[in-house]
Amino acid sequence: MSLTSSDRMTASGAPVLRLAGVRTRLGSTVVLDDLSLSVESGQVVGVVGGAGSTVFDTVCGFVRPESGELSWRGSALRPRPHRLTTLGLARTLQGVGLYGGLTVLENVLVGSPGVPPVPAVPAGRRAGVGVALIGAARTRLQGTALRDLASERLVRLGLGDYVSAHLAAVPASLHARVVLARALLAGPELLVLDDPTAGLDAGEAAALADAVRPPAGADNAVLIATNDAGFAARACDRVVALDGVDGH
């Protein structure tokens, strides 16, 4: 595998995430071979190429590398998909964790301070007690900075017309953006995004590139797997190109 990178900023401190000599095989095909990269605090790092999704799957624990090491702030990491949030890592998956019967804004606020966690319900189905709990919590959130920030995230992701709409009224193709807005609002230590510009036009992709950046001086970071080189160039402080390896 040949790696090329372009740097616009060098972050200081220990890496939030580091991959060293990672080799990952899917079936009989070696997809990642001796991959090494690091994501520093405050950085947005992009992985461009067909194997980018395998980097995403490896970091999130969906696939296990056959060799190499992953570390989290200097400690050995063996990621497990169901424990990523306790680690401080957030990732987005299409349609996962959305609540039928709630508005788009309420969906984004789920998991925020003052909003109780409830089991997710598919769009178009009633959420029962969960809706009542969140409905009670939202009265305490009315007019707060958190609610305003959630609305701003939605607008920047092209969902301004749906902020107050119920999830069932939102086209399924836009559900991934709702999940992304929630992840951005949570401010995880590391946000991992797989193909985040899918379905976005050029203007929306540009807005997303600005929205995913950590605030100045923040310790959190972002890792993006994408085939959109233009988006990566705009969004990322460092771009790693994966060459000569078959992806999926």
Instruction: Identify which has the larger pLDDT, 214 or 68.
Output: 68
180/103 same-domain check: yes
Domain assignment of residue 174, given as a range: 97-186
Candidate from 54-63, 120-129, 142-151, 223-232 with smallest mean pLDDT = 120-129
Write the CATH number for 216.
3.40.50.300
Residue 111 has what pLDDT?
63
92-118 burial, b at 16+ Cβ within 10 Å, e below that, comes to beeeeebbbbbbbbbbbbbbbeebeeb
* Mean pLDDT over the full length of the chain: 78
Residue 113 has what pLDDT?
52
Q: How many domains does the chain have?
A: 2
27/147 same-domain check: no
Which pLDDT band, with edges at 50, 70 and 90, does 174 fall under?
A: confident
pTM for the predicted model, two decimal places: 0.73
Q: Cβ distance 245 to 31 under 8 Å?
A: yes
156/178 same-domain check: yes
Q: Is the model's pLDDT at 107 over the cut of 80?
A: yes
Token reading at 96 = 């996962």
Helix runs in the chain, H state only: 52-60, 84-87, 104-109, 129-141, 145-156, 175-186, 202-211, 229-235
Q: Is the model's pLDDT at 72 over the cut of 90?
A: yes
Dist CA 106 CA 170 (whole Å):
13
Residue 148 has what pLDDT?
86
Token reading at 186 = 């949570």
73/131 same-domain check: no
Dist CA 172 CA 83 (whole Å):
27
Dist CA 202 CA 214 (whole Å):
21
Which pLDDT tens digit goes with each residue over 120-135?
Answer: 444 444 444 344 444 4
Strands 44-48 and 67-72 come out as unpaired
